[in-house]
Structure 1
């Protein structure tokens, strides 16, 4: 597919949720009047991290800025149909605001939840700490053995339709003049400390005023085309949908066992998984499901924690990837320290979907004004990579 022009003010490499959020916020910013091209290698998005995620949002982070980022995400999602409406088309995102339930199993885990809770409350998050008795009253399906504390998000947390979020951003951006092409960037040309053009697999050379790298698990490859590097690698995570013989009663949130294994409702079924703690860097085209992980770890742990899960049957499964920041599990956002017109949005470590509204807005502000204007996201900048100064997020699931 050919681009309509030979040069654009902004070229966005990667058109899934973060790239489309960036295009949306640029296109809806009355102070930005430039041209925007989004280059996406696969318009089906079938193997994008967006489509293969657990499609959730939470305010329970250890880092205050991440709490605020997701608070804006919730605010945006609640008014999603108004933000992305095109003519009379007001899509729904299906936000299930059931909360997250983090569980602690020892003194150390309890201290972490209490410390994180203080951070979350300082940001205005509606989060409640629950002792063992309170957990039993609110969640009777839990086995309380070994639990010392729980942390539950009363409002603002839950899950939604990830593809609807991405397609809503994309459709609205296109209606406002953003151009999308299905192609793949294969090389990037620099003139000293500036990116001047990209070349695509179809043979087009396209000039760019600014380049935004939102290529997900291929973000490191895109950076290397420009002679740059980031501490980000693809990590595989498998998810399993199960049918349970005895459905759980009452409100069921996204529940995280002290081991990191988690589950949440998925319609009449349940979605299960764990964070990618065993798998090292993988090929971004490796989508093999780790069935052994389910049999050896996920199911045994959850069957012990939730007795009803002793009788379950897997009805679906898939594998996706985190673009995992090995420095500190946080996104690298904004310009390279030397190549100022190359902007990163890479290394979300599993948080990209829920953070896409705030990150897209932040990138649009950087491009338009040269600085953040709403939420200061500068601690996520590339400078910390140069200085080897982690800006740590501990709550990774």
Structure 2
């Protein structure tokens, strides 16, 4: 069996690539998406905090998320199938990045860049914060930046299923299998072997395998500097309503946002407690010992929080600079990488899916110039650091 394009990974990135491929009038080939977890119960997309923001420090990340916002706004119309319009439940509730005096210069620098690229971000003084959010302690803060439009949160499962259904309706084939071998001849991948013993010939192979991407890369003889990092998300209930609450990013790195009748919150573990990890055990001690005290210090009402449920997913962390590695490796002409999102994969999936199709079908980027996110910076030791990793 042969497909013109085989996509390893059917999460948001792989499904976005399948959607844009099958929608591109310049592509008339066949597409197979390999997803070993068709229930998506352990998919990074569905286990994420399901948010999108324009407040990055890297221009490419800002532009990709702006593309994602416009995609979400058109989602019900563009991804309708047989009259059924999918709803990603996009809430433009905004992101609020808070800064102490020590962090204010970086906040201002990032804000200037974001605004220069058309992001709708307000720079707030402590007095503005106190007026807008009387439920929040601000005495230790020097300022904040608030997304007035385009930022917010959504139903990640709804996004994923909408992409998947539309890609299938346009001709993509989804197979519940994993790649276990790669047949490479010189500078090209000729075929992949699956976990059921079958082989698939391919004209191009896309590595969108998330935390499984390094294993797939090694099968092709490529060392991909990506590791799995576990991130726990906690659903919390608070007896007090917090009017106008956005997605809040505390200077400590803790975050929280509204979700239904409660909130979700999380924080990255300290570096010395953040090894490569593939299990799904929730880090309850992290909530009790670190996250809850930080939340209660920022929002006094959170002293009365109750943790209703929790879950754990993973970041495919780019160890070099926390930015996606996008495009072909210089040693291989038809293996395309989209890995190392470091927690930004769901929100960047539409832009990266579009970019992969432009590389495969048209030979170069057309919609967004993402050349700096390619392999060259990795191989030459020139990291493109993203400072706003949450």
TM-score range (shorter-chain normalised) is over 0.9
> Are residues 1:243 and 2:243 paired?
no
1:111 to 105, 113, 133: 105
Aligned-partner Cα distance in 2 for 1:368–1:338: 19
TM-score by length of 1: 0.97
Aligned-partner Cα distance in 2 for 1:276–1:84: 37
Which structure 2 segments of 5+ residues have no match?
none
> Within 5 A, what are the aligned runs for 1:293-308?
293-308=286-301
Q: Is the 8 A contact 1:186 1:200 kept in 2?
A: yes
Q: Deviations over 1:278-336 (max 9, x none)?
A: 3433332x011111110111100110100010001100101110000011110000001
Question: Aligned to 1:344, what secondary structure does the other structure show?
Answer: strand
> Within 5 A, what are the aligned runs for 1:11-22?
11-22=6-17
> Are residues 1:143 and 2:137 paired?
yes
1:358 to 334, 341, 351: 351
Cα deviation, residue 276, structure 1: 4.7
> Are residues 1:162 and 2:156 paired?
yes
Aligned-partner Cα distance in 2 for 1:340–1:310: 55
> Are residues 1:208 and 2:164 paired?
no
> Within 5 A, what are the aligned runs for 1:308-387?
308-387=301-380
Instruction: State the match for 1:120 in structure 2.
Output: 114
Aligned-partner Cα distance in 2 for 1:351–1:262: 15
Aligned-partner Cα distance in 1 for 2:166–2:160: 10
> Are residues 1:220 and 2:208 paired?
no
> Are residues 1:192 and 2:201 paired?
no
Q: Is the 8 A contact 2:269 2:286 kept in 1?
A: no
Cα deviation, residue 277, structure 1: 4.2
Question: Aligned to 1:363, what secondary structure does the other structure show?
Answer: helix
Instruction: State the match for 1:179 in structure 2.
Output: 173
Instruction: State the match for 2:255 in structure 1.
Output: 262
Q: Which moved more, 1:358-367 or 1:384-393?
A: 384-393
- Cα distance change, pair 344–159 in 1 and its aligned pair in 2 (3 A): same
Aligned-partner Cα distance in 1 for 2:357–2:371: 14
Instruction: State the match for 1:282 in structure 2.
Output: 276
Aligned-partner Cα distance in 2 for 1:83–1:384: 35
> Are residues 1:253 and 2:252 paired?
no
2:95 to 100, 113, 116: 100
Q: Is the 8 A contact 1:235 1:276 kept in 2?
A: no
Moved over 4 A (4+): none
Q: Is the 8 A contact 2:326 2:336 kept in 1?
A: yes
> Are residues 1:271 and 2:264 paired?
yes
TM-score by length of 2: 0.98
Q: Is the 8 A contact 1:12 1:37 kept in 2?
A: yes
Aligned-partner Cα distance in 1 for 2:352–2:269: 23
Question: Aligned to 2:17, what secondary structure does the other structure show?
Answer: helix
Q: Deviations over 1:165-219 (max 9, x none)?
A: 1111110000011111101111111112211110011010111111000000111
RMSD of equivalent CA atoms: 0.9
Aligned-partner Cα distance in 2 for 1:69–1:351: 10
Q: Is the 8 A contact 1:14 1:39 kept in 2?
A: yes
> Are residues 1:23 and 2:18 paired?
yes
Question: Aligned to 1:79, what secondary structure does the other structure show?
Answer: helix
Aligned-partner Cα distance in 1 for 2:159–2:87: 9
Cα deviation, residue 105, structure 1: 1.4
Q: Is the 8 A contact 1:275 1:396 kept in 2?
A: no
Q: Is the 8 A contact 1:239 1:273 kept in 2?
A: yes
Aligned-partner Cα distance in 2 for 1:124–1:256: 21
